[in-house]
Amino acid sequence: MRVYFDNAATTPVDKDVLKAMYEVMETQYGNPSSIHAHGREVRTIIEKARKTVSGLLHASPAEFFFTSGGTEADNMAIRSGIIDHGIKHAITSAIEHHAVVHTLQSLEKSGVIKLSYVNIDKKGNVDLAHLEELLKSADRSFVSLMHANNELGTITDIAAVGEICEQYNAIFHCDTVQTMGHYVHDLSKLKVHFLVCAAHKLHGPKGVGFLYINHKIKINPMIFGGSQERNMRGGTENVYGIVGLAKALEIAYAEMDQHQQYIQGLKSYMIEQLQENIPGIAFNGETEPEKSLYTVLNVSFPAMDMAEMLLFSLDIAGISASGGSACSSGTNIGSHVLNGIQANPDRPAVRFSFSKYNTKEEVDFVVGKVKEICKVPVA
Reference 177, options 143, 212, 142; nearest CA is: 212
Q: Which residues pair with 6 in a beta bridge?
A: 353
DSSP at 326: G
Residue type, 81: G
Which residues are tagged catalytic?
A: 327
Reference 259, options 293, 234, 291, 235; nearest CA is: 293
Q: How far apart are CA 6 and CA 352, in angstroms?
A: 6
Reference 239, options 21, 58, 79, 18; nearest CA is: 21
Q: Give the DSSP letter string of 86-120.
A: T--EEEE-TTS-HHHHHHHHHHHHTTS-EEEE--B
Q: How far apart are CA 344 and CA 284, in angstroms?
A: 10
Neighbours of 198 (CB within 10 A): 28
CB of 322 closer than 8 Å to CB of 330: no
Q: Which residues pair with 292 in a beta bridge?
A: 154
- Provide the CB-side half-sphere exposure for 73 (13 A, CA): 27
CB of 174 closer than 8 Å to CB of 146: yes
- DSSP H or E segment with residue 213: strand 209-213
Q: Which residues pair with 89 in a beta bridge?
A: 114, 141
Helices (H) and strands (E) in the chain, counts: 12, 12
Q: How far apart are CA 17 and CA 13, in angstroms?
A: 7
